């Protein structure tokens, strides 16, 4: 049965109303609202800091930065996306890792291509998922 939605004088009045009424009875009176949602986990992992300029020393502990390659993963389109052989600068003291600006742009381009459906992966793998049992 369709019901007419009342006019509310305050947010509190509207909250009280919805606590005792079903949204389903007023569905036809509701307006469509467009909402853009950007899930944080869909963005490349923020774990790796991008240097503003090339450095030879770790900005955290001043130890020497060495060039190395890593596999970088992040969530994209609801699944894990792995980017292999990503060049990073890693400090030899604590293992802090940094992207150069150029590498960060290249990695972001991979994720952007995936969002646009233009990514051509070199390989595809399945990923085992384990749910850790909670201690009693
Ligand atoms: Zn460091």
pLDDT of amino acid 49: 84
Distance 93 CA to ligand 1 centre (A): 6
The predicted structure's pLDDT at residue 48: 81
CATH number at residue 51: 3.10.20.860
All residues with CB under 5 Å from ion ligand 1: 58, 60-61, 91, 94, 96
CA distances from 105 to 50, 73, 76, 110 (A): 10, 15, 16, 9
Based on the domain organization, do 49 and 111 belong to the same domain?
yes
Instruction: Specify if 62 maps to a domain.
Output: yes
CA of 57 to the centre of ligand 1 (A): 8
Distance (angstroms) between ligand 1 centre and the Cα of 110 equals 27
* Residue 72 to residues 9, 46, 75, 128, Cα–Cα distance (Å): 53, 11, 11, 17
Q: Which pLDDT value is given to residue 35?
A: 64
The residues that bridge with 96 in the sheet, in sequence order, are none
Whether the model clears a pTM of 0.85, i.e. scores above it, the answer is no
Output the CA 116–ligand 1 centroid distance in Å.
35
Residue ranges of the chain with per-residue pLDDT less than 70: 1-2, 35-47
Residue 3's domain comprises 1-34
Question: Are 60 and 102 in a shared domain?
Answer: yes
Statement to judge: residues 10 and 46 lie in one domain: no
In a domain? residue 95: yes
Domains: count for the chain: 2
């Amino acid at each position: 049965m369709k019901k007419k939605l009342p006019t509310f004088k305050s947010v509190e009045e509207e909250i009280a109303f919805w606590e005792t009424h079903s949204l389903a009875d007023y569905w036809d009176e509701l307006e469509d609202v467009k909402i853009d949602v950007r899930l944080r986990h869909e963005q490349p992992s923020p774990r790796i800091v991008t240097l503003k300029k090339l450095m030879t020393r770790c900005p955290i502990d001043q130890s020497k930065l060495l060039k190395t390659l890593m596999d970088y993963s992040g969530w994209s389109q609801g699944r894990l996306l792995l980017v292999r052989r990503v060049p990073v600068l890693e400090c030899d003291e604590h293992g802090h890792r940094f992207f150069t600006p150029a590498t960060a742009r290249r990695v972001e381009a991979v994720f952007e291509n995936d969002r646009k459906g233009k990514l051509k992966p070199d390989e595809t793998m399945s990923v085992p998922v384990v749910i850790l049992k909670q201690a009693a």
